[in-house]
Amino acid sequence: MTGSDGPAEFRLAYVPGATPAKWVRIWRERLPSIPLTLVAVEPAEAADLVASGGAEAGLLRMPVDKTRFNAIPLYAETTVAVVPKDHVVTAADEITLADLADEIVLHPLDDTLGWDELPGKPALERPATTADAVELIAAGIGVLIVPQSLARLHHRKDLTYRPVADAPESRMGLVWPQGDTSDLMEQFIGIVRGRTVNSSRGPSPAEVEAARGKGKKGAGAGSGKGGSGSAKGGKGGSAKGSPRSGAGRGGAGKGGARSGGSASGARGGKPRRRG
């Protein structure tokens, strides 16, 4: 879908830990008349939300199904181990998975890392969420390995984290459904890629806003014409025999269908016959 078709806003889904603020600010500077709405979504639900049209695009963790989505890789995150502040590994600036071999490593159901083999010792049960896992660590149960953005998101004063040199990385990407790419999507892609306002790719932000404005005016004009047609119907019917039907037509021109109704029934009587 291209041009001025599509929603009157751009909805951007984002998973926990994603940081869209910079791109949102640039969007609002370039396209102030077109709202950008942020939609927070859990990782397990993010892909389906974008695929179903609940958002035009998403900042999601890779990989995604390339048969369903277009994707632009954005950046890789440092992977860290979240531990109590007095944990022995905090003596080092960086650790390895071997340093956690004797630890219970929690593996929440919403884990975003692609493990070939889980490190450490498994817990008896998997926490439902990363937030639940953080609560267990604070209670002295195990450690957690996550992207650094999630460690920051769930920060607590009694916990800290250390980078894990040999852990899998988490990559963030801009994702949108396969198919035609709308002008609004092209605008956001340009912002994410760092293109300037005067980039030659696709319409300029001003042209996109102008197209949206014409679409809205066109809808209003269609309504006006419908009203005029209704007024003409009044002229052809009961208002036709009135010597003052010109006034009715003038009113219909401004008031649409309502004025047409007035032309036929304002005087409450039968139309006069011509002598």
Helix (H, G, I), strand (E, B) or coil at 36: strand
- HSE at residue 152, side-chain half, CA atoms within 13 A, is 11
Whether 129 is covered by a domain: the verdict is: yes
Residue 197 lies in a domain: yes
Q: Which range marks the domain in which residue 246 is found? A: 226-265
Q: Give a yes or no: residue 57 inside a domain.
A: yes
Q: Assess if residue 272 is contained within a domain.
A: no
66 is a domain residue: yes
- pLDDT value of residue 175: 98
pLDDT for 269 equals 47
Residues 153 and 93 in one domain: yes
If asked whether residues 180 and 61 sit together in one domain, one would say yes
Please give the pLDDT value at position 210. Answer: 80
What would the pLDDT profile of 169-199 be if each residue is shown by its tens digit? Answer: 999 999 999 998 999 999 999 999 999 887 7
For residues 119 and 142, membership in a common domain is answered with: yes
In this prediction, residue 201 carries a pLDDT of 65
Residues 86 and 125 in one domain: yes
Q: Do 152 and 26 fall within a single domain?
A: no
- In-domain check, residue 107: yes
CA distance 163 to 128: 24
- Answer yes or no: do 179 and 68 share one domain: yes
CB within 8 A of 236, min separation 6: which ones?
none
Whether 160 and 186 share a structural domain: no
Same domain, 148 and 160: yes
Residues 88 and 132 occupy one common structural domain: yes
| Residue 130 domain flag | yes
State the CATH number of the domain containing residue 15: 3.40.190.10
Neighbours of 41 (CB within 10 A): 22
Cα 52 to Cα 9, 246, 264, distances in angstroms? 16, 53, 49
Number of structural domains found in the chain: 3
Ranges of the chain with pLDDT below 70:
1-7, 200-202, 213-275
**Which of 144, 168, 192 is the last residue in one of the domains?**
168
Instruction: Examine residue 124 and state whether it is found in any structural domain, yes or no.
Output: yes
pLDDT at 231: 41
Same structural domain, 70 and 177: yes
Instruction: Let me know whether 66 and 176 are in one domain.
Output: yes
Identify how many contiguous H helices and E strands the chain contains and give both numbers.
8, 10
